[in-house]
Chain A
Amino acid sequence: MIWNIIGTWIAAGLTIAIFSFLYKDNPLYKFAEHLYVGVSAGFGVIYVWAFDLKPMLIDRFISEHGIERWILLIPAILGILMFSRWIGKFGYLSRLPISFTVGIGAGLGITASVQGFLLPQIQGTLLPLTTINNIILVIGVITTILYFYFSHEFKGKTQYILRVGVVFIMVSFGASFGYTVMARISLLIGRVFFLLSDWLHII
Chain B
Amino acid sequence: MKFWEKLGELDRRIIFTIIGLAVIIPLVLKITMPIRVSETVRNAYHSIEHLPAGSIVMISIDYDASSGPELQPMLIAVLRHCFKKDIKVILLGHWALGLPLGEIALNRVAAEYNKKYGEDYVNLGYRPGYSALMVGIGREFRDFFAADYRRVPIDSFPFMRKVHNYDQISLLVGLEAGATGDAWVQFAGARFGLKMFLGATGVTAPDLYPYLQAGQITGLIAGLQGAAEYETLIKEAGTGTLGMPTQSVVHGLIIIFIILGNASYFVLRKKKK
List the interface of chain A (C-beta within 8 A of B).
Answer: 22-23, 40, 43-44, 47-48, 51-52, 55-56, 104-105, 108-109, 112-113, 115-117, 120-121, 123-124, 137, 172, 175-176, 179-193, 196, 202-203
Contacts and interface: CB of A to CB of B under 8 A. Distances in A.
A116 B213 contact: no
Contacts of B254: 181, 185
Given A47-B126, A115-B186, A115-B191, A179 B223 contact: yes
Contact of B206 (A108, A109, A179): A179
A67 B206 CA distance: 47
A183 B203 contact: yes
Contacts of A180: 202-203
Interface stretch (B21-29, B35-43, B77-85, B107-115): B21-29
B27 A120 contact: no
A51 B127 contact: yes
Given A108-B132, A190-B239, A193-B239, A52 B224 contact: no
A196 B27 contact: yes
B97 A116 contact: no
A109 B131 contact: yes
A175 B69 contact: no
26 contacts: A22-B13, A22-B16, A47-B96, A51-B125, A108-B131, A108-B132, A112-B191, A115-B186, A115-B191, A116-B190, A179-B205, A181-B254, A182-B202, A182-B251, A185-B246, A185-B247, A186-B224, A188-B250, A189-B69, A189-B224, A190-B239, A192-B23, A192-B24, A193-B69, A193-B242, A196-B24
B222 interface: yes
A13 to B, nearest CB: 16
A27 B126 CA distance: 35
A112 B131 contact: yes
Interface string B54-74: 000000000000111110000
Given A189-B69, A193-B242, A51 B96 contact: yes
A22 B17 CA distance: 9
B187 interface: yes
Contacts of A113: 186
A202 B26 CA distance: 12
A48 B126 CA distance: 9
B267 interface: no
In which size bucket is the chain B interface? Answer: 35 or more
Contact of B186 (A117, A188, A190): A117
Nearest to A56: B127
B222 A190 contact: no
B214 A124 contact: yes
B96 A23 contact: no
B273 interface: no
B-side binding surface: helix, strand, loop or mixed? helix
A187 B214 contact: no
B189 interface: yes
A44 to B, nearest CB: 6
A124 B97 contact: no
B234 interface: no
A173 to B, nearest CB: 10
Contacts of B182: 117
Contacts of B67: 187
B206 A175 contact: yes
Nearest to A183: B202
B52 interface: no
A203 B30 contact: yes
Nearest to B177: A183
Contacts of A56: 127
Nearest to B225: A182
B34 interface: no
A3 to B, nearest CB: 14
A112 B186 contact: yes
A120 to B, nearest CB: 5
Contacts of A187: 66-67, 69-70
A120 B243 contact: no
Contact of B190 (A112, A124, A189, A202): A112
Given A22-B13, A181-B254, 5 more contacts: A23-B13, A44-B97, A47-B126, A115-B186, A185-B251
B185 interface: yes
Contacts of A116: 185-187, 189-191, 216
Nearest to B214: A124
B127 A186 contact: no
